[in-house]
Structures are given as C-alpha cells and as structure tokens.
Amino acid sequence: MAFDHNDIEIIKKEAVFKGYFRMDRYRLTHKLFDGGRSPELVREVLERGKIAAVVPYDPMRNEIILIEQFRPGAMAAGWEPWQTEIIAGVIEEGETAEAMAFRETQEECGCEASTLLHLGSYLSSPGCSSETVDVFCGRVDTSNAGGIHGAPHEGEDILVRSIPVDEAFQILESGKIKNSMTLIALQWFRNQLANINAAWLP
C-alpha cells in the first residue's frame, strides 16, 4: 500500500537474527498526529514476507477442505499444537499470490484448484511482523480429497479432511479454531458464499 515515505525517517536498519525466520531492528522516527515528530524508536520486526491462503471449496458437493498440522507457536503458548487450518504458504520471490495459491493447494491437500476468487488481504500482526496475507477461495473437486499430504523434506505432516460447509461453520462457531488466518478466511468465505455460488454454480 502506498504511503508518504517522508512521514518516516529510518535512521538505521540491521538484521539481528537469521534462521527459519529473519528479525530486523529499526531505528526510526515518524510523524505525530499533532504535526510533530516522535522521539527515536527502536523496534524489532519479524520479516515473515508475503503469504497466500486458500479455502478449497467444491460448490457442487458443498464441501470445503480443512487441514490439521503441528504448530510450534501454539505449543509454546500452551495451546493445542495440532491446529485446524486452511491451506497457506509463503509466496516465493518472483511468484504471484495466485500462483502460490494454486501450487500450495496441490501440495498440501492433493487437489487442483481450477479457479480462484480473491476474498481479501490483511496484515497478520503489524505491531511486530511484516507478514501480509492474501486470502483466496479455490474451486476444487473434493470427491477424492483426504489422507496425509505435505512435503516431508520440509517437515510437513498434514491431515486433510473434506467436510460439509455447514459443519465447517459449526466448527467456526464452536471456538475450536484458534488461529487468526483460518478464522478470518472462514468468516470472509461465509460472508461471500452467495456471490461465490452465483459465480460457480450453474
């Protein structure tokens, strides 16, 4: 998104950690609402990059696909480590969000998405991370969906289930889903389902 770069002065930026993720430290000042400028701030930012997420939906069978996989952040928080989620992955350099959505749908649930509809975009945690998420609904055939998928060399062990849309909404309302990406995506999907069906059903 565009903004006036003169509103922010980056005094210094340095990488303070590089591992599975990268952490950068910024020294900066920014404009204040009263017209002045802030004192110099030091802030660490988790440089996560861009994510694409997909709600795989079969309009003919009225089913969506949800997955379960181990999440160390949930474990560290003392919550259930095996999280119920939608399809998601990191957009690689030179790759579009749409291309990643097609690719990850195949890799994580073994289904080909024939069509994508963009549901929305958001920042995951703008106070501490650069991660952005583009959410899509992907049209799939769930008749043979299921089983265990993922890339073993990346440590992925993904359980795939196709379930009726009404059951998915019941799970959403039950509070079982604890991760923001899936909560946001399923809410958007529910809100836009009539339009999705109008586009995809005969």
Query: Please, which pLDDT band fits residue 154 given cuts at 50, 70 and 90?
Result: confident
35: domain range? 5-47
Please give the pLDDT value at position 5: 77
Could you count the other beta carbons within 10 Å of the beta carbon of residue 103?
16
Please tell me the predicted confidence (pLDDT) of residue 42. Answer: 96
Catalytic residue (choose from 154, 156, 167, 173): 154
Task: State whether 117 and 37 are in the same domain.
Answer: no
Mean pLDDT (whole number) for 156-176: 94
Q: What is the mean predicted confidence (pLDDT) over 150-164?
A: 87
Looking at the structure, do residues 126 and 105 belong to the same domain, yes or no?
yes
HSE (CB half, 13 Å, CA atoms) of 120?
Answer: 15
Domain count, the chain: 2
Q: What is the pLDDT of residue 136?
A: 98
Mean pLDDT of the chain: 93
Specify whether 37 is located in the same domain as 116.
no
Q: Give the pLDDT band of residue 155 (cuts 50, 70, 90).
A: confident
What pLDDT sits at residue 48?
Answer: 86
Residue 112 annotated in active site: no
Mean pLDDT of 157-176: 95
| Cα of 34 vs its chain's centroid, Å | 35
d(CA 173, CA 57): 19
- Amino acid letter, 181: M
Exposed e or buried b for every residue in 129-160, given b needs 16+ CB within 10 A? bbbbbbbbbbbbbbeebeeebbeeeeebebbb
Q: Which whole-number Å values give the CA distances from 15 to 18, 19, 143, 195, in the listed order?
A: 7, 11, 47, 44
Query: Could you tell me the CATH number of the domain that includes residue 100?
Result: 3.90.79.10
